[in-house]
Amino acid sequence: MKLSGAEILIECLRKEGVKHVFGYPGGVVLNIFDVIYGQKDVELILTRHEQGATHAADGYARATGKPGVVLVTSGPGATNIVTGLATAYMDSIPMVAITGQVPTSLIGNDAFQEADIVGITRPCTKYNFLVKDVADLAKTIKEAFFIATTGRPGPVLIDIPKDVTVSKTEFHYPATVDIRSYKPTVKGHMYQIKQAAAAIAKAKRPVIVAGGGVITSGAADELKELAEATKVPVTLTMMGLGGFPGNHKLCLGMLGMHGTYYANMAVHNADLLVAIGMRFDDRVTGKVEGFAPHAKIVHIDIDPTSIRKNVRVDVPIVGDVKNVLKDLNKVIKEETQESWGAIRKAWLSQVEDWKAEHPMAYEQDDVIKPQFVVEKIWEITKGDAIIATEVGQNQMWAAQFFKFIKPRTWISSGGLGTMGYGFPAAIGAQLAYPDRLVFDVAGDGSIQMNIQELATAVLNNLPVKVAILNNCYLGMVRQWQELFFDKRYSSTCLVGTPDFVKVAEAYGAVGLRASKPSEVEPVIREAIKVRKPVFMDFVCDQTEKVYPMVPAGAAINEMLLRPKDEKPAKKRLKAVK
């Protein structure tokens, strides 16, 4: 039987096991939406902005490991997803975005709602397609899912002209894909793996630096086995949070610009770094010339371009992190006879000293400290929650003060740092796991960038808990202005912020407010109790800063630490209502 392009698309999604598509309709995708209307397997979640759709699909993907799917119209619909694609691309998140396009006969004519979305998104997708013939559609969709989810994952875009959604052809979904020019290396080279094992056995001051690749490849157990067997402390990049238990005694927390003192000191003084599924982003390395100056570097990554891009590497291993760690653990078990406890004793005690010297801390006084809110969420949930974040100080405090235990519980825009990401991403995660607790730790600035998605959350009964750390400022930018621009607060005071409690109520969600420390815990408990989306407005200290901080251009051991003698900020700017 012949099917239309629109029918083929939905049939393919069904075959890929896609249950939810995040999208927004428009002229050239009418035929596709019409097919969706007539069936039950693939549910379309209508967001209130296409950007929200992409972040929701991204959050869904991060929470589940399955590709998120987006469907939008041509022109403005398509350009509205660019930020979402770039966000997913930077963080290697599998996503398939389908855009409608003007009919093939009009392409290139500056037709109504035409945008060259394939051209626009070429640098922010892993791959993209323009399907000009319905006969190619099924194969293209198969390839798109394959490319998005294999190797180093990423977003793939399929642009489908309107006439292709209408034309009919015989439907055949290929069972397998073979792209001769795309063969990711998944198995690590055994010789290199043995070199890595030898380096670990020889090292006096080793540190494991684990990143998002551990989450992507599902290698948390293998990582734990490696660290425990060889007694090597583990620090995580922001993308790696949840890849190693935050409450483990070998865990040093996050490294880098806002990393812990002890993680940065350990990395700086290390004689061996075992870098696993991470890419030495500049937020991790600080000044590259001053990064881990004494360390030999073993680097395991599935993407060869990540290796030796920013830092020198002594033992490169290209492969899927899980496979490589399995092999590495085996080699270590069979071929090394070290008494690990004894050889690590001095190093681990040095690390403990650093922990004791500058633990992660803050001082709670009569104004709510944002860190206190994050810590309370941690205590109340015992870490059993999915935490999405916005971008800014809120994101860093969430990363620092919530101890992530399990993979895929941390959902945050790392590479692109996209404000407005967290709330729709939390909605996507909640849709994937209706019964789990999903928070969005938000800033008062960021939440306003996709606040319209409250409607999506309310209508779909997605009880996301948004904890707004309301400091009346674009706090992270304000922090830089305070420290490096002579307190000239140019455009960072958020005058005109709405009453978030009333906003929530206007959408049919629940709004709660905590204005003093004693109200924090009751508000969180109340929010958890109601089976509805909740905005919690935490009226926080406006001057609190994120520490440690590695200033721009400094090495990561040159941190600004929390000034202990700083008087708690008593004077507060009048809250803007």
Partner 1 sequence: MRHTIQVLVENKFGVLSRVSGLFSGRGYNIESISVGPTLDNQISQMTIVTSGDDQIIEQINKQLNKLIDVIKVTDFTEFEHVEREMALIKVSPKSEHRAEALRIVDIFRAVIVDSSPKTYTIQVTGDGKKIQAIVDLLKPLGIKEIVRTGKVAISREGKTAG
Ligand X SMILES: Cc1ncc(C[n+]2csc(CCOP(=O)(O)OP(=O)(O)O)c2C)c(N)n1
**What are the catalytic residues?**
50, 112-113, 162, 476
Query: Of the ranges 124-132, 410-418, 422-430, 555-563, which one interacts with partner 1 (CB under 8 A)?
Result: 124-132
Number of residues that bind Mg ion (CB under 5 A): 6
31 in contact with ligand X (CB under 6 A): no
User: What single letter denotes the amino acid at residue 444?
Assistant: D
Distance, CA of 232 to CA of 212 (rounded, Å): 19
Nearer to Mg ion (CB atom), residue 4 or residue 542: 542
Number of neighbours of residue 195 by Cβ within 10 angstroms: 17
2-4 vs 168-170, strand pairing mode: antiparallel
Nearer to ligand X (CB atom), residue 315 or residue 468: 468
Which one of partner 1, ligand X, Mg ion, none interacts with residue 477, CB within 5 to 8 A by kind?
ligand X
Applying CB under 5 A, among 153, 259, 443, 511 the residue interacting with Mg ion is: 443
Shortest CB 448 distance to ligand X, Å: 8
Judge contact between 12 and 138, C-beta under 8 A.
yes
Q: Which two tokens stand for residue 567?
A: 């008087």
Rg (C-alpha) for the chain, rounded Å, is 24
Nearer to Mg ion (CB atom), residue 409 or residue 471: 471
Applying CB under 5 A, among 25, 407, 475, 511 the residue interacting with Mg ion is: 475
Applying CB under 8 A, among 2, 17, 122, 573 the residue interacting with partner 1 is: 122
Secondary structure (3-state) at 271: coil
Contacts of partner 1 in 181-220 (CB under 8 A):
181-182
Applying CB under 6 A, among 106, 107, 201, 477 the residue interacting with ligand X is: 477
Contacts of ligand X in 103-162 (CB under 6 A):
none
390 in contact with ligand X (CB under 6 A): yes
Query: Of the ranges 175-183, 207-215, 396-404, 413-421, which one interacts with partner 1 (CB under 8 A)?
Result: 175-183
420 in contact with Mg ion (CB under 5 A): no
Identify the CA nearest to 121 among candidates 165, 154, 153. 154
Nearer to Mg ion (CB atom), residue 530 or residue 575: 575
Distance, CA of 259 to CA of 238 (rounded, Å): 9
Cα dihedral sign for 551, 316, 147, 243? negative
3-class SS string, 113-176: CCCCHHHHHHHHCCEEEECCCHHHHHHHHHHHHHHHHCCCCCEEEEEEEHHHHHCEEECCCCCC
Number of residues that bind ligand X (CB under 6 A): 19
Nearer to Mg ion (CB atom), residue 149 or residue 471: 471
Query: Of the ranges 187-195, 267-275, 297-305, 441-449, which one interacts with ligand X (CB under 6 A)?
Result: 441-449
Query: Of the ranges 122-130, 170-178, 473-481, 550-558, which one interacts with partner 1 (CB under 8 A)?
Result: 122-130
Q: Which residue is nearest to Mg ion (CB)?
A: 443
Applying CB under 6 A, among 74, 389, 393, 409 the residue interacting with ligand X is: 393
Interface pattern 79-118 for partner 1 (x via CB under 8 A)? ---------------------------------------x
Shortest CB 304 distance to partner 1, Å: 5
DSSP character string of 7-56? HHHHHHHHHTT--EEEE---GGGHHHHHHHHT-SSSEEEE-SSHHHHHHH
Q: Is 399 exposed, middle or buried (0-12, 13-18, 19+ CB in 10 A)?
A: buried
Query: Of the ranges 226-234, 306-314, 315-323, 384-392, which one interacts with ligand X (CB under 6 A)?
Result: 384-392
Largest CA distance in the chain: 77
Applying CB under 8 A, among 20, 49, 126, 299 the residue interacting with partner 1 is: 126
Sequence-separated (6 or more) residues with CB below 8 Å from residue 179: 143, 146, 147
Contacts of partner 1 in 518-577 (CB under 8 A):
none
Sequence-separated (6 or more) residues with CB below 8 Å from residue 207: 232, 233, 234, 235, 252, 266, 267, 270, 272, 273, 274, 295
Applying CB under 6 A, among 10, 469, 520, 559 the residue interacting with ligand X is: 469
Shortest CB 458 distance to partner 1, Å: 40
Phi first, then psi: what are they for 370, rounded to 5°?
A: -55, -35
Nearer to Mg ion (CB atom), residue 253 or residue 475: 475
H or E, element range at 467: strand 465-470
277 in contact with ligand X (CB under 6 A): no
Nearer to ligand X (CB atom), residue 92 or residue 393: 393
Shortest CB 451 distance to ligand X, Å: 11
Q: Which two tokens stand for residue 290?
A: 């001053």
419 in contact with ligand X (CB under 6 A): yes
Shortest CB 130 distance to partner 1, Å: 7
Number of neighbours of residue 550 by Cβ within 10 angstroms: 23
Q: Which two tokens stand for residue 402?
A: 């919530």
Applying CB under 6 A, among 68, 259, 445, 533 the residue interacting with ligand X is: 445
Shortest CB 312 distance to partner 1, Å: 9
Number of neighbours of residue 9 by Cβ within 10 angstroms: 28
Any long-range contacts for 34-41 (C-beta under 8 Å, 24+ apart)? 34/6, 35/4, 35/6, 35/7, 35/9, 35/10, 36/10, 39/10, 41/14
Contacts of partner 1 in 268-327 (CB under 8 A):
303-305, 308-309
Binding site for ligand X (CB under 6 A): 390-394, 417-419, 443-446, 469, 471, 473-477
Interacting residues with Mg ion (CB under 5 A): 443-445, 471, 473, 475
